A = this chain, B = another copy of it.
């Protein structure tokens, strides 16, 4: 996922992992071919088995790399003590960068997580479990505080989280459907996303105040 920035060719193992990343994300684990990964890495198929015993092991390695780099940033952001309304901006901002560049990434994570739920638990370490609880607690505190000040009923932290994530992530999940239904070309989709980056925080904040 993260491309090498320096000049020297990365070693074979790294090239394989990068290639596997690209191919698995593009085609899903079942749809990926070891041959294609080998080609893209510029090595022989046998070398994949030398470094990673089997396709399943390679897929697992890729999954760990991707899934680990996916959530923590946003989780930490949401768990922090910055004001609730700022969080909205920051979450929107944080996701839209990488997801624009990697159109298949989110669908890969979702489909593999859905079809092999064990993969999710594998990256859900005790520390992360704790962090997630803390994040929810912080969110709840902020929402209750807001409700107290505005003298309204507090919104459920879990519900708010899902609405926030859903609103942010859905365009990248349903991209082909949306571009077709809305009649958008590739660059029009970009414009749509740009506009959304500005509009969505306003919309959500409006729902929050009173």
Copies of this protein in the complex: 2
**A110-142: contact bitstring with B at CB < 8 Å (1 yes, 0 no)?**
110111010011001000010011001000000
Among B31, B133, B162, B167, which residue has its beta carbon within 8 angstroms of that of A115?
Answer: B31
Interface residues of A in 154-203 (CB under 8 A from B): 155-156, 158-159, 162-163, 165-171, 173-178, 180-183, 192, 195-196, 199-200, 203
Given contacts A30-B31, A111-B107, A113-B177, contact A206 B203 (CB under 8 A): no
Q: Give the 8 A-B residue pairs with the shortest CB-CB distance, closest first.
A: A166-B170, A207-B207, A30-B30, A30-B31, A111-B111, A166-B166, A107-B114, A117-B176
* A interface, CB within 8 angstroms of B: 26-28, 30-31, 103-104, 107, 110-111, 113-115, 117, 120-121, 124, 129, 132-133, 136, 155-156, 158-159, 162-163, 165-171, 173-178, 180-183, 192, 195-196, 199-200, 203-204, 206-207, 210
